[in-house]
Chains A and B, each alone.
With several copies, the nearest count.
Chain A
């Protein structure tokens, strides 16, 4: 085991997969050179692998998406970067209509093994065009998988799996998590797509969360423990297709659910999870299914205002108290 930051774990996954398969290549804006990616994720990889495998592009998100689809269809494994989450709408057709339908509409004959990485800038003061929440953008897109890891271990293992997966995968990074450290095995490993992880066991309430909200949930669980409430923290890890069995098992055990997600509340990832529970697990429920999420407001560029529309421990604890009533 070695202790490392998530940013380094992600870079290690990219590097290992590029060494493993020479058809893996990276493409995006300012990945190489001095910049090394907006958050230094790809730093140094251009030197190691050359400019043909770490391709810096113009500001052309649609073409970046098109390249992901075309290169994947013709047999390579592109890992492209969209600089930040708020820009994902620029590549929405390439995701929804192209990558998402290609395997199906080709009669199962063409695979589309591409990874689209992007970084969410939540909890940072950069305004609505940088810090928008876009985690729910592909939940309604058949054929698309999306993962959002919360630890260096999960990030590395999921990214390696995503790169070897034969379907398009959206890989969501969160800027506040890059510097979080965690243990990562020395030996090679993979984390499966579609499997949630119980980050903490509990019996009174299940918090369903992913990415940044996992930390909030774990800290909240710790605090609630002192009040005698036993909180289970279920880290989805994969947003879509999400792990129905894990959710069902946890809800059956606790009967109370709080879904915490750092996205706009309405129509968010948590809405789908709540709908699934209301449809398939309602008999286990002994409390309403609460969603703890950002307010439906564009993200302002002002910490005073951000504070008021975003979520954290306080909101999670609040919700736990409410379902415990």
Chain B
């Protein structure tokens, strides 16, 4: 199956939303206007934006620590996300979790977790619910997280139980400085699917069309009750953490080329196909900026939590 024009423009729009938001996050962090632990997905925008065309709004989405793009792409509350980055009471987790614990259950999205790999097990649990309720789970993590044992336990269990889960690996060949050469055996993460006799494939993770065609094939397989699949998307992340960005502008200049940048590349493609025009590009970019501005305004005008708020919600009812 292929993406139609409208879908592709939606994807493009989401990529722009994520890009502008993540850039702003880096910028504001550098200025000291926002604080905390933040892991941008700059350079990887194609994956979340495309997956949003693969799952339904009420399907489940469970990601690892680098979940901001997925949160946005699923249509989770963008204002609340920005309020969270500003540590406000109106934040998606009331200003408690910060960027690495973004979640929005009204959109079935658990897009934060900071113990790398643990989300694979949680996604597998979500799979039991999805199986009962006729939904699917899309589970996403970095290639580094596939070296945790829980990845293996999860794939094995999901396969035996024929759980409806698409396991997606964002392969950026980087784990806090280490490359796969130093840490990871096997030529491709997708090969790990062979261990369980489930479908596995590697696609160009900077190309929405490539991601989509394999992902939608796998989702059909999954929805038909045949169990999980493993999709590896090759991409590149431009920055590990907001605190690691030294000279972001230079980096961005260098990589804003169709070879490295999934957005620039998608623009070339959309233009060649006559889908994207100057006017449309401008409109899309404006739209992204407007959304961002609205979210920033919402966040900045939101109240800070009261110090004592941090004592609530340890349990669902006071004990």
**Contact surface of A with B, Cβ cutoff 8 Å:** 23, 25, 27, 29-30, 33-35, 38, 52, 55-63, 65-76, 78, 86-87, 90, 93-94, 97-98, 103-111, 125-130, 142-143, 145, 166-167, 193-194, 241, 295-298, 300-309
What residues of A have a CB within 8 angstroms of the CB of B286 in the complex? none
Q: Is the CB of B183 within 8 A of A66?
A: no
Interface pick from B4-12, B96-104, B268-276: B96-104
Across the A-B interface, give the 6 residue pairs with the lowest CB-CB distance, nearest first.
A66-B121, A70-B125, A305-B310, A301-B98, A129-B114, A58-B147
Stretch among B174-182, B220-228, B230-238, B245-253 lining the A interface = B174-182
CB-based contact A110/B105 at 8 Å: yes
Q: How far is the CA of A25 from the CA of B127 in the complex (A)?
A: 13
* Contact in complex: B157, A143 (CB < 8 Å): no
Let me know if B1 is at the binding interface, CB within 8 A: no
Using a CB–CB distance below 8 Å, which chain B residues touch chain A?
35-37, 60, 62, 87, 91-98, 100-101, 103, 105, 108, 110, 113-118, 120-132, 144-145, 147-150, 153-154, 156-157, 160-161, 175-178, 182-184, 304-317, 319
What's the least CB distance linking A210 to chain B, in Å?
A: 17
Contact status A301-B36, CB under 8 Å: yes
Q: Could you tell me if A67 and B124 are in contact, using CB atoms closer than 8 angstroms?
A: yes
Known: A59-B116, A63-B149, A127-B97. 12 other contacts (CB 8 A): A30-B178, A59-B183, A60-B148, A61-B148, A70-B124, A71-B125, A75-B129, A76-B132, A103-B315, A302-B310, A304-B304, A305-B305
- A309–B306 Cα distance when bound, in Å, is 12
Closest Cβ–Cβ distance, residue B173 to chain A (whole Å): 13
Beta-carbon nearest neighbor of A89 in chain B: B115
Q: A76-B129, A166-B317, A309-B310 are in contact. Are A98 and B118 (CB under 8 A)?
A: yes
Which residues on the A side are within 8 Å of B175 (C-beta)? 29-30, 58-59
Q: Which of B183, B308, B313 contacts A103 (CB under 8 A)? A: B313
Out of B92, B116, B184, which one reaches A107, CB within 8 Å? B92
| Given A76-B132, A129-B114, A308-B308: A69 and B37 interface contact (C-beta under 8 Å) | no
User: Does A304 contact B316, Cβ atoms closer than 8 Å?
Assistant: no
Taking A58-B183, A126-B37 as contacts, is the C-beta distance between A63 and B121 under 8 angstroms?
A: yes
- Chain A residue with minimal CB distance to B127? A70
Contact B128 A78 (CB under 8 A): yes
In the bound assembly, the distance between CA atoms of A133 and B126 in angstroms comes to 28
What's the Cα separation between A55 and B93 when bound, in Å?
33
Task: Tell whether, in the assembled complex, residue A71 and residue B96 are in contact, meaning their CB atoms are under 8 Å apart.
Answer: no
| Given A76-B129, A129-B100: A58 and B153 interface contact (C-beta under 8 Å) | yes
Q: Would you call A107 and B178 a contact (CB within 8 A)?
A: no
Q: Which of A70, A86, A109, A305 has the most CB of B within 10 A?
A: A70
With A67-B128, A103-B313, A104-B96 as given contacts, are A130 and B114 in contact (CB-CB < 8 Å)?
yes
With A66-B121, A74-B129, A126-B37 known as contacts, the answer to whether A296 contacts B148 (CB < 8 A) is: no
Contact A33 B96 (CB under 8 A): no
CB of B228 to closest CB in A, whole Å: 13
* Pairwise interchain contact A301-B97, C-beta atoms closer than 8 A: yes
State the CA gap A62–B117 with chains docked (Å): 11
Q: Are B314 and A25 in contact (CB under 8 A)?
A: no
Alpha-carbon separation in the docked complex, A130 to B39 (Å): 14
User: CB-CB < 8 A to B307: which residues of A?
Assistant: 304-305, 307-308
CA distance A34 to B178 in the complex (A): 9
Could you say which of A29, A126, A241, A307 contacts B319, with CB atoms under 8 Å apart?
A241
Give the shortest distance, in Å, between A16 (CB) and chain B (any CB): 20
Other-chain contact of A70, B100, B103, B126, B144 (Cβ < 8 Å) = B126
CA of A308 to CA of B114 in the docked complex: distance in angstroms?
23
Contacting residues, chain A, for B147 (C-beta < 8 A): 58-60
Q: How far is the CA of A104 from the CA of B117 in the complex (A)?
A: 20
Cα–Cα distance between A97 and B150 once the two chains are bound (Å)? 15
* 23 A–B contacts, CB within 8 A, in A order: A23-B132, A29-B175, A30-B176, A33-B182, A34-B177, A68-B125, A70-B110, A70-B125, A74-B60, A74-B125, A90-B115, A105-B97, A106-B93, A107-B94, A107-B95, A108-B316, A125-B36, A125-B98, A126-B37, A297-B311, A300-B310, A304-B95, A304-B304
B37 contacts A301, C-beta separation under 8 Å = yes
